[in-house]
Amino acid sequence: MSGDTPSDPSGTVEYGPALPGERAAAEEIDNSFTTATVLEVTASEDGFRLREAPADPPLRKVYPAEEDEEEGADGAPEGDEDKHVIVARAGDVLCGAISLARSAWNDRLVITDLRVAPAHRGRGIGPALMERALAHGRELGVRTAWLEVTNVNAPAVRVYRRMGFTLCGLDTSLYRGTASEGETALFMSRPL
């Protein structure tokens, strides 16, 4: 399935668990972005300060393909068999997906990936996917939802804040030695 062109003229989007074969297709959805602002992180003796700053010229971020890992930075399983994936379909086009996993040791829902195809952005698909993920978390009885986002993705941070997430921490060293070197990992959470 392509994630670029809508094939449903009515614009109707349907949501549901990923069908066989859709997990791989979900990971193929373009999750790059362009932004005119980033969140600058400044360290001091007493902590950190975040400030929205212009990116001139605008920054285009293209994420590299990810390799499967046994567990994430927070201990949540990231193997494909442990993920729950909810997708958005416009006709026969996969236009969005959210991947999540339950972290049993601290009883939280870890949002591992949220993607909306560029041609479908700005239509409420991301928030609709997140609501379905949070509902799944409530069904599991988890206490909180948690996610990681890079400081250069200021648009995503704004959207997550509108969804009720707040900043709960950061890591200035998480991306060292990676394609995202120089960026800061921001951690956001919200109670369920």
Q: Can you give the residue ranges of every domain in the chain?
A: 14-191
pLDDT at residue 6 is higher than 90: no
The DSSP secondary-structure symbol of 31 reads: -
pTM: 0.86
For the segment 36-62, what is each residue's pLDDT rounded down to a tens digit?
Answer: 999 999 988 899 999 999 999 999 999
CATH class, range 14-191: alpha beta
Mean pLDDT across the chain: 88
- On whether the CB atoms of residues 137 and 24 are closer than 8 A, the answer is no
Q: Which residues contact 16 (CB under 8 A, 6 or more apart)?
A: 86, 87, 89
For the segment 122-175, what is each residue's pLDDT rounded down to a tens digit?
Answer: 999 999 999 999 999 999 999 999 999 999 999 999 999 999 999 999 999 999
Task: Give which of 7, 55, 4, 74 is closest to 32, Cα–Cα.
Answer: 4
The beta-strand segments (E) located in the chain are: 14-17, 33-44, 47-61, 84-90, 93-103, 108-116, 144-150, 166-171, 185-191
